[in-house]
Structures are given as structure tokens and as C-alpha cells.
Chains A and B, each alone.
Chain A
Amino acid sequence: MARLTLDDVTKVYTDDGGDDIVAVEEISLDIDDGEFLVLVGPSGCGKSTTLRMMAGLETVTEGELRLEERVLNDVSAQDRDIAMVFQSYALYPHKSVRGNMSFGLEESTDLPDDEIRQQVETTTDMLGISDLLDRKPGQLSGGQQQRVALGRAIVRDPEVFLMDEPLSNLDAKLRAEMRTELQRLQEELGVTTVYVTHDQTEAMTMGDRVAVLDDGELQQVGTPLDCYHRPSNLFVAGFIGEPSMNFFPGSLSGDTFSGDGFDYPLSGATRDQLGDAGGLTLGIRPEDVAVGERRSGERTFDAEVVVVEPQGNENTVHLRFADGDEGPQFTATTTGRSRVEAGDRTTVTFPEDAIHLFDGETGDALKNRELPSNRAIDAFVSN
């Protein structure tokens, strides 16, 4: 069993000037055996530092790191039974693929040579790189090097895989392919995996659960769709989802949300959830903004198209409320075949069941969107 637990783990650095920098602040995580957990957040949020503490490449300043019942804080990296895939692959340039993959086994186990050979060959078969066994890293493409780095981790049959942005050096197309493959591999092998990335798409599509970090602090841990549809605060709502959620700062007056350029009436049920909040931020995802559907009503507004970004299967449309001057811009997603153009005037509708409302000061989510209840959605959203 390989349950990895972080208990209020903190990392503090002292910089050149003698000041303390808190890179990671009191992170607590319970990672189940066989789970694929993605640590995601912008540059500098502490995700790599957290991973490196799990690996033993950084010491833990405060808090406890446990693998099952065993406390890992003072255990050296070599003894943790953890394998890591680095962003730069870190392959031994002078060794062949076979040599790279055998090295870990040779150093940390007593296995006889032919058994090591056997294990290496099984792994290369799994990864589809058997024909590359005798080549050196310098003779391999980026994608192939990636697989060797993976193979090197897999062959050691560790308790935990740690991956530090392993796909970021790959071409966009290759990245998409490897995402699916990594996921499949992890399921097949059933090894607890902690994966670090700044790319929320990778987090959404690969993780069993996602842990969102910002500035050293854990913002939310949940399934991808949980974080997507029920973000706990403004940061998570803005970080997860591409294109980003639209935010409209404003305030509550009676039963209406007053934003910059529009007023949005709230139903009684919604109003009740807001309590005493004064300043609010209204959020709505681009795919929930209905464009040009000839609706009318209090939740439909006149708008002007500023820019259209065609994606092929859909378009990202940047709009502005149409009351003359430069109001805030927001985005909507429309199907690929709709031919909206810059300069067009149209309407946008924000359905009430799709809006999120956040506290204007703290950023906490006060009301998230409604979700239809069915077996599939429940399975995905709840843990």
C-alpha cells in the first residue's frame, strides 16, 4: 500500500538578505493508494517545492511527510522507494537507454543481472521503445527521451511516482498524445502518482483529484470537475478552465447585482445564499454565455463583438457590453460554424443557474452554479 500523507507541511527558505521566504505553507494532503493526484498552480506557487520535499530533494521545515505509517522527513532520497520523472528528463547522456533504465535497479536492489534485463525489457515493451534499447539519449527525439525517462521510473517499481512537468518540453501534439498514454499507463500500473504542472488542461484530464496551489497555499483539493463547477474561491475559479471564467466585480443592492455596465437580478433562492455580503464578484464561464439566441429578459444584455478567435470546432468570442464606451471585455464560446465577426452587435444571456458569486473581499465562493443531477455527473464531481 502506498498512501502518501502530508501533514501541515511547510517549507521556509532564507534568502541572501536574511529574510524568510515561505515557499510552502501548511499543506495537508491525503493521497490514496493508486491515486493520480495533480498539483497545479502558476509559476512560483510552491508545487515543485512540495514535490521535491516528497522526493527528499528538499528538507521539510515543519510538518510531517508520511508514506503509510512511515515518517519520511529525515529519510534520504535514496531510501524512499520513490521514482521521479524530471522536466528535463535528466537522462544519463553517456549511457544507452538500457543503461539508463538499469542504473536504478543496479544501485538500489540486489537483483541479478538477467532479472534486471528482463524487467527493463518488459518496461520498454510497455512503452513501445524496445527498438531503442541500445541508443544513447542524444540520438533520440524529445518524445522518445520522455518515454525513457518514464521507463526509468517505472522499472524500479516504486511505491510512488513523482512527475515534475514531464510534458512541458514536448510539441503541442505530442503532449496531447502523451497525456492519454500517461494516464493509461498509470491506471495499468496502479502506482500512486503525484504530478506537477502549470497547465490546467493536464490537471483536468489526467488527475483523479486536483490540488490547486497559489503562493504556497493550498486553495482547493477535489476532483477536476469539482474544482471546475464548484470552485472554493476566485483563484480556483479563474485558474481552472480554459478560456478563463469571466469575472464582473460589483455590489449587491437589494435583489440586484450591480456590475460595471449591467444590472443582474437575482432570484430569492440565490439572494439567500449571499448573506450580508456587500461587495461581490459575479462569475460565469464562457461556454455558459449564450450569444445571439434572440432571447429577451432581464438577464439578456446588448453586446458588441470585439475579437473572434476561431478554434475550428468552436470560436472564442470577445465581447463588450454595448453602452457606448470602453466597458469591461468578457468571453463567450460559440460553435465553430457560427460566423460572428468583429464589430457585430448582438445579445448575450447569462442564465442564472450558471452563475457563480464570490465575496468581493475574501474571494470565497458564496454561490456556485447549479448542476443537473444524474449518475454520471455525480460520479465525476464527488469524490
Chain B
Amino acid sequence: MSQPSSTGSFDVASLVEDVNLRRVAQYALVVFFLGFFLVPLETGIMTAIKTNESVARSLPFAPPVGEGFTLGNIQFALEQLSGSFFNSLIMSIPATIGSVLFGSMAAYGLTMVNWRAQMGMLMLFVVGVFVPYQAVLVPLARFWNNIFPLARMLEPMVASIPFFQGYHAELVPLVITHIAYGIPICTILFRSYYQSLPNSLVEAGKIDGASITKIYRRVILPISKPMFGVVFIYQFTQIYNEFLFAFTLVTGSDAPAAPVTLVLPAIGASTSGIDFGIRMSAAFLAAVPTLILYVAFAEQFAKGLRTEA
């Protein structure tokens, strides 16, 4: 049986009454874990705004003092990364949208429509989730470079788009690969959501005369919004942070088309060693798009999780 729900009124007497060893221990635990997760983050921020000297001299999580404070690291990192930010975003956003959209459609077809060999198809998708990145690297490279050199083919077309350069065409195979790779997991995620929806919605649509596609477009898609939020955030984080495929298909951290993940390992490295300040700044800046996304979609995300439960 659960504890009684709290009332709206607030009086000191009841507050004092509730203070007991168990409560104190509960709060202490919460504060501890809060610290546990936040300390590294805080350390990172501190390091980012310290000069090299300050980094060497002070404790990692201590804030910079006086002369030790600098914004130079951040500025430098920003300059270095700006190009690759653009690359990362024009790669991740279409890839995320694509994999999420196709995943949703596939899940709809596999869950809410009845047809033969459905289970077999579903099995293929499930298997797809488990194929490791590493296993397909070589065939992937060979495919995109030798068998179907899409990047080279599209170069002139991409160059003619404003704001884009020819080399951005190298990202197109990467986008397609991420879409393909992301579909299985998106399908599985959407499937669990669609299983919780009443079948009678699709049945009502059929009886109203709508085709399967129209039902998806007008009925299922609009009510999938919470789930879209969840899967979008998940996929974006996966794709944006991904290193292996990017490394395989866009060669070299100094390639102009390199996404952020490729550039990051190289930042701040020099003959005199690693500049931690710059590294930290770069790491934080790289995380900003994902942070923005989480904040923007926070409500959807929470709704989506609630629906799943």
C-alpha cells in the first residue's frame, strides 16, 4: 500500500514531524549521487575557463582565480570547430529524421497492419539491431568508395547549393548509412509504443474508408508525437556522437567535411602536449547541440516515457 498523498497545506509542525532518520538518510543519498554525477561536469567547465598555468596549479574542480580565468580557450575551440559543427548538423539532422520516420513507418506496418510473413520480417529487423558497427566497416568503405561512389557523383550538384561546398557531398553516404543503421532500433522503439495503442483506432479508420497509408498519415503519425520526441533525441545523440562510420567514410580529421567527432580528438594536441583547457572547451561546445535538443524536447521525452510505461 502506498503512503498517503500529500495535502496542499503546509505547516511547520508536520514538517518537523516528518524529519526522521529515514528522511535524512534519503536526502543525504540524493545529494551524494547529485554530487557524484555533477562533479565531473563541473570540473570540465572549470578546466575550460582556466589558463594552462592555472590548470597545472589548481585542483581540478576549484574555480579559476583572478589571472587564471580566461575565455581564450573557448574562443579558440569555437574557431576550430565551427566548420565541423556545420558538417555534423547537416549530417545528423537528416539522418535522424530519416531513420526515425522510416522506423515509425516500419513499426506501423509490422504492428498495426496484419499480413503474412510479418513475424519473419520483424525478426530481420531485430537481427539488424545487433549487427556490430565494426563488422561492416570494410564492406561499407568499399561500397561507398568503389562500388557506388555517390559522393563523387553528387559533388557538382552539392557545390551548386548555396552555403554548401563540393566536399559536403562526402556526408551523403554517411547520412544514408546512418539511416539504414538506425531503422531497426527505431522500429523496435516505435513498435513497443504502437503495441500500447488500441487496435480499434486503425479498425475505425478502415471502416471510415481510409487506406492503410492514409490511416498512418492522418491517425497514427499525429498521435506518435510523444514517441517521436523520445526516439528523435535518442537517435540524434547516437548519430551526432558517432565516430566509427564517420571515420571510415570521411577520411581524416583535417578533411573539410569532417564532423565534430572526428575533429575533437585532434584539437588541442601539439608538440608540447595536450592543452587541457582547449580540449575541455571543445568537448563542451560539441555537447551543446545535444543539450539544446534535450531541453527543447524535454516535455515530449517525459510524455513519451510515461506512455511507454
Q: Which residues of A contact B (CB under 8 A)?
A: 12-14, 20, 56-59, 61, 76-78
- Contacting A56 at CB < 8 Å: which of B4, B6, B8? B4
- Contacting A14 at CB < 8 Å: which of B3, B4, B8? B8
Is B1's CB under 8 angstroms from A77's CB?
yes
Is A58's CB under 8 angstroms from B3's CB?
no
Q: Encode contact with A along B1-17: 1 for CB under 8 Å, 0 otherwise.
A: 11111111000000000
Give the residues in chain A near B7, CB-CB below 8 Å: 12, 59, 61
Instruction: Report the Cα distance A235→B8, complex, angstroms.
Output: 32
Is A57's CB under 8 angstroms from B8's CB?
no
Give the residues in chain A near B3, CB-CB below 8 Å: 76
Instruction: Report the Cα distance A20→B7, complex, angstroms.
Output: 11
Residue of A nearest to B4 (CB): A59
Instruction: Report the Cα distance A176→B5, complex, angstroms.
Output: 36
Give the residues in chain A near B4, CB-CB below 8 Å: 56-59, 76-77
B-side interface size class:
under 10
Q: Which residues of B contact A (CB under 8 A)?
A: 1-8
Can you give 17 contacting A-B residue pairs, CB < 8 Å?
Answer: A12-B7, A20-B8, A56-B1, A56-B4, A57-B2, A57-B4, A58-B4, A59-B4, A59-B5, A59-B7, A61-B7, A76-B1, A76-B3, A76-B4, A77-B1, A77-B4, A78-B1
Instruction: Report the Cα distance A20→B4, complex, angstroms.
Output: 18
Give the residues in chain B near A77, CB-CB below 8 Å: 1-2, 4
- Chain A CB within 10 A, most for which of B3, B4, B6: B4
Is A12's CB under 8 angstroms from B1's CB?
no
Residue of B nearest to A12 (CB): B8
B109 CB to closest chain A CB (Å) equals: 30
Give the residues in chain A near B8, CB-CB below 8 Å: 12-14, 20
Instruction: Report the Cα distance A61→B6, complex, angstroms.
Output: 10
B299 CB to closest chain A CB (Å) equals: 14
A157 CB to closest chain B CB (Å) equals: 18
What are the 10 A-B residue pairs with the smallest beta carbon separation, nearest first? A77-B1, A14-B8, A59-B4, A78-B1, A59-B7, A61-B7, A59-B5, A58-B5, A56-B4, A58-B4
Instruction: Report the Cα distance A167→B171, complex, angstroms.
Output: 63
A79 CB to closest chain B CB (Å) equals: 10
Instruction: Report the Cα distance A9→B300, complex, angstroms.
Output: 39
Give the residues in chain B near A56, CB-CB below 8 Å: 1, 4
Give the residues in chain A near B1, CB-CB below 8 Å: 56-57, 76-78
Give the residues in chain B near A14, CB-CB below 8 Å: 8
Give the residues in chain A near B2, CB-CB below 8 Å: 57, 77
Instruction: Report the Cα distance A56→B5, complex, angstroms.
Output: 10
B293 CB to closest chain A CB (Å) equals: 26
A56-B4, A58-B4 are known contacts; what are 19 more A-B pairs with Cβ within 8 Å? A12-B7, A12-B8, A13-B8, A20-B8, A57-B1, A57-B2, A57-B4, A58-B5, A59-B4, A59-B5, A59-B6, A59-B7, A61-B7, A76-B1, A76-B3, A76-B4, A77-B1, A77-B2, A78-B1
Give the residues in chain A near B5, CB-CB below 8 Å: 58-59
A136 CB to closest chain B CB (Å) equals: 22
Instruction: Report the Cα distance A229→B257, complex, angstroms.
Output: 87
Instruction: Report the Cα distance A12→B7, complex, angstroms.
Output: 8
Instruction: Report the Cα distance A57→B2, complex, angstroms.
Output: 7
A77 CB to closest chain B CB (Å) equals: 4
Residue of B nearest to A59 (CB): B4
Instruction: Report the Cα distance A76→B1, complex, angstroms.
Output: 9
Give the residues in chain A near B6, CB-CB below 8 Å: 59
Instruction: Report the Cα distance A56→B4, complex, angstroms.
Output: 7
Residue of B nearest to A79 (CB): B1
Give the residues in chain B near A20, CB-CB below 8 Å: 8
Instruction: Report the Cα distance A59→B9, complex, angstroms.
Output: 12
B28 CB to closest chain A CB (Å) equals: 24
B65 CB to closest chain A CB (Å) equals: 45
Instruction: Report the Cα distance A43→B251, complex, angstroms.
Output: 67
Instruction: Report the Cα distance A12→B9, complex, angstroms.
Output: 10
A107 CB to closest chain B CB (Å) equals: 10
A22 CB to closest chain B CB (Å) equals: 12
Instruction: Report the Cα distance A75→B181, complex, angstroms.
Output: 56
Give the residues in chain B near A59, CB-CB below 8 Å: 4-7
A78 CB to closest chain B CB (Å) equals: 6
Residue of A nearest to B8 (CB): A14
Give the residues in chain B near A61, CB-CB below 8 Å: 7
Instruction: Report the Cα distance A56→B6, complex, angstroms.
Output: 12
Instruction: Report the Cα distance A77→B2, complex, angstroms.
Output: 8
Instruction: Report the Cα distance A56→B2, complex, angstroms.
Output: 9
